[in-house]
Amino acid sequence: MEKIEKAHEAEYGVKPDVIISAPGRFHLIGEHSWFCRDKTLSMAINLPVYVAISARPDSSLRCYFTELDDRKRANLQTMKFKKEDRWFNAVKAMLCGMISSGFSCKGMNITIHSKILPSAGFGITTAIKTAVLYGCRELFAKQCSDEMLLGCFVLGNKQFLGTATYYADVFTSMYAQPDTCLLTNYETKDYELFPFNFDHISVLLTDAKVPRISVWNEESVRSPENILLLGELKNRKRNAYGGWVYQESGSELVEVLSVVSEDMRKRLLSVIREHHCVLEAVEGLKENNFEKFAHAVNKSHDNMRDLYTISCPEIDWLTKRVLEFDLVSSLTPKACARITGKGFGRCTYTMLKNSYVERYRNKLTEYERIFGFKPACYEIQSAGGTKIL
């Protein structure tokens, strides 16, 4: 906090009126199957973004990202999307959402501080957005409720960026609590917290530094036709969490998916199996059963690799090394690892015994020697949501 306060004063000559902290985030399971009114399990983490804001007497917007040493300018009355603005577009989008929702905003000086850059993932862009909204509410719109703030988020994404809002991103950024995972239900547009009480387990995020090259368009899975097909395979089940499950096998499954290509059939089957992985992981959290939780995570990575096909050899090498630790049975694993985020490279998360952390880090040295990419590894803890400091 002291660092960003000094940086803000040095940049603008005034102290900030408000400082906000927003957590990083990663998704454990379900970030690729949410679109069919499903669920995503996420965790907020202690890789925070700090945003300092001071009000200006005019309508000018000035923004400084300390780690990038990058400065941007705009005017609230004439803000436009510019591809070259990258991270600054996220700031402008949220201000657009506030103004379009009827809230009056004045000009601002904004300073952003984050050790992790937005390009790495880990929810940094969402954290910037949420922190800017919280700061604007504190300075200009204290009557704005959380529900209204969420509306500003959705509107800014839609009108300024032309993108949908992933509620798991926003709920985790706003409402997470320490020592919990957050489950977003896209059917009800609500969330629930579950305890993450595995004290013997360390959690590590690894940026494998593999360039992200998409080999197929994920939007193709989310077509209305595919959503209708998946809807035909939903079965109401009173004792299942959320009240329904997918039919995973049988002649009806074969018949329903027979109308799509083989690649699409695999991806829709992946969506079905991912739903069951989410439910199993939630059961593991509720029962404080790490082996059940880890089994769901490992099964989910296999799913992402073999059916959804968004993994790559480098990521698979990292996850396989984790499973070699203390392996007794694949049904009762002592560790787990999975690709996380958009896929097609980049990041994994790993959960393993505290005593194995150093062994895992040694494997990263071997990884660099084999593949030529120098990974970054962060030992993290769960964190609470966005707050005014």
Amino acid at 138: E
Contacts of 222 (CB under 8 A, 6+ apart): 35
Q: Which helix (H) or strand (E) is 195 found in, with range?
A: strand 190-195
Whole-angstrom distance, CA of residue 282 vs CA of residue 275: 11
Whole-angstrom distance, CA of residue 29 vs CA of residue 304: 10
Whole-angstrom distance, CA of residue 40 vs CA of residue 42: 6
The residues pairing with 349 across neighbouring beta strands, listed in sequence order, are: 205, 338
Taking alpha carbons only, the member of 117, 119, 72, 67 closest to residue 91 is: 72
CB-based contact 109:14 (threshold 8 Å): yes
CB-based contact 338:319 (threshold 8 Å): yes
Contacts of 75 (CB under 8 A, 6+ apart): 59, 60, 61, 107
Contacts of 215 (CB under 8 A, 6+ apart): 309, 344
Angle at 273 between CA 271 and CA 279, to 5 degrees: 105
Q: Which helix (H) or strand (E) is 353 found in, with range?
A: strand 347-353
Measured CA distances, 347 to 91, 96, 106, 211 (Å) = 25, 31, 38, 10
DSSP character at residue 382: B
The per-residue DSSP string of 193-235 comes to EEE---TTEEEEEEE-------SS-GGGGG-HHHHHHHHHTEE
Provide the annotated active-site residues. 169
The alpha carbon of 245 is separated from its chain's Cα centroid by a whole number of angstroms, namely 24
Whole-angstrom distance, CA of residue 16 vs CA of residue 34: 38
Measured CA distances, 293 to 177, 197, 373 (Å) = 19, 12, 30
